[in-house]
């Protein structure tokens, strides 16, 4: 080969490399300047859910969001509504879930983080548990399954960039639900183990430095007439004043091998219940203001706290809120026996207390889907709902009622995607109008989700390069 030909080939290679570099740089600049409607692409599995809540909190002009990221570790981002600045995502802890490559079910999904900000502006998350394991010690209030319940706190007030995990809660929890009262007391509610465990709460009066011992409020126990145990799924939230409100359904936890249902243990739930915890007096009451003996048994729940008996259809995920006078409204998903596949047509049913009785609404127009409830007054009610339209478009929308929840109408659509698979959080604590709810959208062919922060003006946008966390070698994933 002649020197002239070699020189020409070298020049051509240099030219191609130069063009590719310029093209890559140009693309980078385009990505950097392009706004996308998601804030991160590293949501993992069911990155948020109604039950683990709150997933977000608005505080001093900033919305803080926690979600499940790669390897089921907790991640936190923040958005400043005044400066329009995003920060994160930062990894806030290391979960014991999501690390076993030989696990049959790849993603556990029970350790998603709940978030809270204390009176001194430190940020807390509880995460990582699915009942704990025998290696963690004796579980005196239930049985085991996996993971380890953990509590992490930011090293500096309102700083999501660095975290410390504290050893001050039992390892056996799952389905964490955080509440802060007006006097600064913190309450952490969770199930103390796997299905066959009590539901408990722990109280902190020193901004989460220490927690009192777990107190049982829903009791698991062995049934005598069939091969099963009583179990529960509550949803806990702030009421008015010193009250904490609880909507819950009953899980009949059948043995893996039993004579009643050859499928063994299945996700069978029934009925809808409601009760109130007065944190000032320490008393639990039903909607009629009658005292309850705690921890509550199935027999006492049926007698004193029943909203609706649902013996044949299955229930899933109760939610509740109260109007300014303290009258509650509750919702629950109801559908036929869904078997072990956890799927099927479930439709939201709505109930309201009129001072004398529970009234079921005529909400046949509500679509199938999961969501959260906001009661603004005795007549004005909203449900934030994920659902799928008739033309296979997934959407997140607000359904409003102006007759106390008797009928609902879709008034605002926050997000729509063709053939989308959405997961949705509970309402953000003390939400800014522009950031009410968190949503994850599944990426086809992967276990990851794009994460959205939605409010009255739709998704809050972010620079495309910042939002593409998985492809950024300088991200905060480690």
Active site residues: 110, 175
* Run of H or E including 464: helix 464-467
3 state SS of 324: coil
**What length does the chain have?**
478
* Run of H or E including 465: helix 464-467
Task: Give the span between the Cα atoms of 238 and 453, in whole angstroms.
Answer: 22
337-363 b/e with 16+ CB inside 10 Å = b?
ebeeeeeeebebbbbbbeeeebeebeb
DSSP-assigned letters across all residues of 2-61: -HHHHHHHHHHHHHHHHHHHHHHHHHHHHHHH-EES-SEEEEESS---SSSB-SEEEETT
3 state SS of 103: coil
Report the Cα 21 to chain-centroid distance in Å. 43
DSSP letter for 339, please: G
Q: What's the half-sphere exposure (Cβ side, CA atoms, 13 Å) at 437?
A: 28
């Amino acid at each position: 080969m002649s020197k002239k030909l070699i020189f020409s080939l070298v020049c051509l290679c240099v030219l191609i490399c130069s063009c590719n570099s310029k093209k890559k740089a140009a693309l980078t600049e385009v990505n950097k300047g392009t706004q996308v409607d998601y804030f991160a692409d590293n949501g993992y599995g069911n990155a948020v859910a109604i039950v683990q809540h709150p997933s977000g909190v608005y505080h001093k002009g900033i919305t803080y969001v926690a979600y499940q990221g790669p390897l089921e570790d907790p991640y936190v981002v923040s958005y400043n509504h005044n400066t329009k600045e995003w920060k994160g995502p930062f990894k806030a802890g290391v979960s014991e879930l999501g690390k076993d490559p030989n696990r049959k079910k790849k993603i556990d999904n029970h350790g998603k983080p709940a978030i809270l900000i204390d009176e001194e502006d430190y940020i807390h998350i509880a995460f990582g548990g699915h009942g704990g394991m025998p290696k963690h010690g004796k579980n005196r209030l239930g049985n085991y399954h996996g993971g380890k319940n953990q509590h992490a706190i930011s090293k500096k007030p309102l700083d999501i960039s660095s975290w410390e995990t504290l050893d001050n809660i039992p390892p056996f929890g799952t389905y964490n639900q955080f509440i802060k009262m007006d006097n600064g007391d913190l309450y952490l509610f969770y199930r103390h183990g796997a299905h066959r465990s009590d539901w408990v709460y722990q109280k902190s009066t020193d901004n989460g430095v220490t927690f009192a011992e777990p107190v049982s409020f829903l009791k698991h126990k062995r049934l005598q007439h069939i091969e099963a145990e009583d179990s529960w799924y509550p949803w806990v939230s702030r009421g008015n004043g010193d009250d904490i409100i609880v909507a819950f359904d009953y899980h009949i936890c059948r043995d893996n091998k039993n004579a009643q249902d050859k499928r063994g243990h299945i996700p069978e739930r029934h009925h809808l219940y409601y009760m109130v915890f007065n944190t000032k007096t320490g008393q639990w009451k039903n909607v009629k203001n009658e005292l309850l003996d705690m921890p509550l048994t199935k027999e006492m729940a049926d007698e004193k706290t029943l909203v609706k008996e649902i013996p044949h259809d299955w229930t899933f995920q109760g939610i509740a809120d109260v109007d300014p006078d303290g009258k509650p409204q509750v919702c629950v998903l109801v559908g036929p026996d869904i078997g072990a596949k956890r799927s099927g047509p479930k439709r939201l049913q709505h109930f309201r207390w009129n001072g004398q009785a529970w009234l079921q609404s005529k909400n046949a127009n509500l679509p199938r889907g999961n969501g959260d409830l906001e009661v603004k007054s005795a007549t004005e009610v909203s449900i934030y709902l994920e659902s799928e339209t008739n033309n296979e478009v997934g959407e997140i929308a607000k359904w409003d009622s102006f007759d106390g929840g008797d009928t609902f109408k879709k008034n605002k659509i926050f997000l729509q995607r063709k053939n989308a698979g959405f997961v949705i959080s509970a309402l953000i604590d003390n939400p800014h109008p522009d950031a009410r709810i968190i949503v994850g959208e599944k990426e086809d062919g992967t276990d990851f989700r794009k994460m959205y922060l939605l409010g009255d003006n739709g998704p809050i946008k972010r620079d495309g390069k910042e939002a593409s966390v998985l492809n950024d070698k300088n991200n905060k994933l480690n």
